[in-house]
Amino acid sequence: MRIIHHPGYDPHFGQQHVFPSVKFQKVRDRLLGDATASEADLLRPDPATNDDLLLVHTPAWVDALTHGTLTHAQIVRLEVPYSQAMVRAFRLMAGGSILAAQIALEDGVAYNCGGGFHHAFAGHGEGFCAVNDVAVAIRVLQRAGRIQRAMVIDCDVHHGNGTAAVFADDPSVFTVSLHQFKNYPAVKPPSNIDVHLNNGTGDADYLDILHRLCHRAMADFTPQLVFYVAGADPYENDQLGGLSLTLDGLRDRDRVVISAARQRKIPVAVTLAGGYAEQLEDTVSIHAATAQVACSVAAGSFR
């Protein structure tokens, strides 16, 4: 399985910020260290262009990001410090999701070691998300005629509000969000399917719901590509989450989503999304395990 990564994914938010931007490099290093991937498996993306971003985002938002003219209110809503390194990181990760989607169409499964910024709306960013890389990637592939129909399965602990809003009333993209209800964001625009989970939901209930949901949605919609937003934050020890999935439960979650798609021969592009465990190494382990499961499913050894 090919893995997309770039050193520029890390915008260096600093150790005091709850978003551990160093995780992207650490996940990449872990995958090489445990032989999940080799250097030959790694691909570096080009940054998404303005033309790519404008398939999803408004000219005013793209211009503000490009030229650093965000207002104080916009930066507060974004919740990450503005810098050119930040903008380049989001452009690179959008490019990474585009490349992951393209590779998934060829190989069946691909893994972007970044991305999944589902709180970015067309005209603004919020919740650590400046560019909705998954939405951009889908639109780029549709523009190129590579796909007509796509599905987003979002298993981050937080509702995929930006993605739901971007694709509202668009029958070509089916959005699914499985998230903790009493958590950010306060306003949750409707996805095609929303599952509002109770606080403390654990492995058994989560996996039962997810299994039935994936098979029903994929059978009814028949997408040509699935984007899997594999947030690490449903973990029981996550600082910004309130669900109770274990490390084993999260691996089973990954298997359910990726296997459901591959059993139907639907390509899967994986993105990382959130992860704020009390111990950074737990977040790294969860993201690395997602890649391990994806590799195993792609090889036909883990179904």
Nearest-CA neighbor of 288 among 40, 33, 105? 33
Give start and end residues of each alpha helix (H) in 1-132.
23-33, 50-53, 59-67, 72-78, 84-107
Q: What is the pLDDT of residue 12?
A: 87
Q: What is the pLDDT of residue 299?
A: 82
Catalytic residue among 5, 6, 118, 119: 119
The CATH code of the domain that includes 253 is: 3.40.800.20
Q: Is residue 293, in this structure, part of any structural domain at all?
A: yes
Burial group, residue 14, by CB count within 10 angstroms (0-12, 13-18, 19+): exposed
Range of the structural domain that residue 257 is part of: 21-298
Q: Indicate the range of 6-10, 34-38, 98-102, 268-272 predicted with least confidence.
A: 34-38
Please tell me the total count of domains within the chain: 1
Q: Is residue 9, in this structure, part of any structural domain at all?
A: no
Contact by Cβ (8 Å): 147, 99? no
DSSP annotation string for 88-124: HHHHHHHHHHHHHHHHHHHHSEEEESS---TT--SS-
211 is catalytic: no
Q: What is the pLDDT of residue 14?
A: 79
User: pLDDT for 188-230, tens place per residue?
Assistant: 999 999 999 999 999 999 999 999 999 999 999 999 999 999 9
The pLDDT mean for the chain works out to 96
Q: Is residue 116, in this structure, part of any structural domain at all?
A: yes
User: pLDDT for 166-185, tens place per residue?
Assistant: 999 999 999 999 999 999 99
Residue 211 CB-half CA count within 13 A: 11
Q: At what angle do helices 84-107 and 133-143 cross, to 10 degrees?
A: 50
